[in-house]
């Protein structure tokens, strides 16, 4: 028997009782974008998911091929009639049993999907103000670069942003350097330099981050660097923007008292849409 919100029920009536993703954050996930019946950057998502499972010692089933996941995701959005533009999340979690030490490393997965309004990426030029989140810090370790179901720093940071009328917050690591924002990777433009923190600083090895780095390296007049960024560096920047697979690129218009342009972000969104249409 269990007590759920004041009601005593049979344990079997609540699936969360033994779910390890719920109890211990023992899960990893990927968020993907589907456009016109195609999963964008599927290979990058798949290999990152497999790498995440290996890092946390999950057993990878033989049927967990890229083609298998593609079929499962596309079948779901097709049945929901949202194949033209959708967001899907696949969560892989270790099966029930055990306390901190699991009884098995076998896994299950859950996929859910919701419609998106826009298929193509577009740059939102509305006011987008950010500030530092300093209540908690990201540690510089391998687990910080893995998308696990333990996202409490992102949750508490989002609450802080909402309470302070901010659109987003910038996360710092334990050496007080810039890591990323709450919902994606961070890029800084200074002169002709495009800079983003290296993964070794604790940031997520973002799929869109990879695309933007590759596109920028092909652009004339732009030098691309993965370098440590301090909070002081942000106030000297000409441009700041964040990236993730769902939004694409979001320009930051204001940090503290500094306001920013969005010139390179505009160009990169164009290049991004062109690369998608060619594939």
Domain boundary among 92, 115, 138: 115
Q: What mean pLDDT comes out for the span 120-146?
A: 95
Edge-to-edge strand list for the sheet holding 193-196 = 223-226, 193-196, 185-190, 239-244, 248-252
- For residue 27, how many other CB atoms are within 10 A of its CB? 25
- Using a 10 angstrom Cβ sphere, with 0-12 exposed, 13-18 middle and 19 or more buried, the burial of residue 22 is middle
CA angle 34, 124, 225 (to 5 degrees): 80
Q: What is the mean pLDDT of the chain?
A: 95
Band (pLDDT 50/70/90 cuts) for residue 132 is very high
Domain of residue 195 covers 129-278
CATH of the domain at 33: 3.30.470.10
**Whether residues 182 and 81 fall in one domain:** no
**Whether residues 236 and 101 fall in one domain:** no
C-alpha separations of 95 from 16, 26, 68 in Å: 12, 9, 20
**Whether residues 87 and 62 fall in one domain:** yes
The pLDDT assigned to 14 comes to 67
CA-based nearest residue to 204, from 49, 87, 43 = 49
Residue 124 lies inside a defined structural domain of this protein: no
Pairing of strands 85-94, 38-39: unpaired
**Whether residues 139 and 109 fall in one domain:** no
**Whether residues 32 and 108 fall in one domain:** yes
Q: What is the distance between the alpha carbons of residues 88 and 74, in angstroms, rounded to a whole number? A: 9
The pLDDT assigned to 200 comes to 95
**Whether residues 162 and 270 fall in one domain:** yes
**Whether residues 108 and 223 fall in one domain:** no
**Whether residues 190 and 263 fall in one domain:** yes
CB 179 within 8 A of CB 145: no
pLDDT, tens only, 244-273:
999 999 999 999 999 999 999 999 999 999
CA angle 112, 116, 117 (to 5 degrees): 160
Domain boundary among 58, 84, 115: 115
**Whether residues 107 and 36 fall in one domain:** yes
CB 108 within 8 A of CB 95: yes
Strand partners, 190: 193
**Whether residues 270 and 133 fall in one domain:** yes
CB 138 within 8 A of CB 151: no
Q: How many structural domains comprise the chain?
A: 2
Q: What is the distance between the alpha carbons of residues 264 and 262, in angstroms, rounded to a whole number? A: 6
* DSSP assignment string, 9-56: E-GGG-TTSS-HHHHH--EEEEEEEEETTEETTHHHHHHHHHHHHHHT
Domain boundary among 84, 115, 146: 115
CATH of the domain at 208: 3.20.10.10
Q: What is the distance between the alpha carbons of residues 56 and 148, in angstroms, rounded to a whole number? A: 9
pLDDT, tens only, 60-75:
999 999 999 999 999 9
CB 33 within 8 A of CB 86: yes
Residue 122 lies inside a defined structural domain of this protein: no
Residue 120 lies inside a defined structural domain of this protein: no
Band (pLDDT 50/70/90 cuts) for residue 119 is confident
Residue 192 lies inside a defined structural domain of this protein: yes
Strands (E), the chain: 2-4, 7-9, 27-35, 38-39, 85-94, 107-115, 129-138, 168-173, 178-181, 185-190, 193-196, 223-226, 239-244, 248-252, 254-255, 258-259
The predicted model scores a pTM of: 0.94
Rounded to the nearest 5°, which phi and psi values hold at 177?
-100, 160
Q: What is the CA radius of gyration of the chain?
A: 20
pLDDT, tens only, 200-230:
999 999 999 999 999 999 999 999 999 999 9
């Amino acid at each position: 028997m269990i007590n759920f919100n004041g009601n005593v029920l049979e344990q079997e009536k609540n699936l969360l009782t033994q779910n390890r993703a719920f109890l211990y954050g023992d899960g990893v996930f990927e968020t993907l974008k589907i456009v016109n019946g195609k999963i964008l950057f599927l290979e990058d998502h798949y290999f990152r998911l497999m790498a995440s499972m290996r890092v946390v010692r999950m057993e990878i089933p033989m049927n967990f091929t890229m083609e298998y996941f593609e079929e499962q995701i596309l079948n779901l959005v097709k049945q929901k009639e949202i194949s033209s533009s959708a967001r899907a999340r696949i969560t892989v979690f270790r099966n029930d049993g055990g306390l901190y030490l699991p009884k098995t490393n076998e896994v299950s997965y859950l996929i859910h999907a919701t419609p998106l309004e826009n298929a193509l990426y577009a740059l939102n030029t509305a006011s987008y103000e950010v500030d530092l989140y300093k209540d908690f810090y990201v540690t510089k370790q391998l687990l910080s670069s893995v998308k696990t179901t333990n996202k409490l720093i992102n949750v508490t940071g989002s609450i802080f942003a909402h309470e302070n009328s901010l659109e987003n917050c910038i996360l710092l690591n334990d050496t007080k350097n810039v890591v990323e924002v709450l919902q994606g990777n961070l890029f800084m433009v200074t002169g002709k330099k495009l800079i983003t923190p290296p993964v070794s600083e604790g940031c997520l090895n973002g799929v869109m981050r990879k695309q933007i780095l590759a596109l920028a390296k092909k652009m004339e007049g732009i030098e691309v660097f993965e370098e440590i960024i301090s909070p002081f560096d942000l106030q000297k920047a000409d441009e700041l923007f964040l990236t993730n697979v769902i939004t694409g690129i979001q320009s930051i218009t204001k940090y503290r008292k500094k306001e920013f342009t969005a010139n390179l972000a505009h160009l990169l969104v164009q290049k991004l849409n062109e690369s998608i249409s060619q594939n």
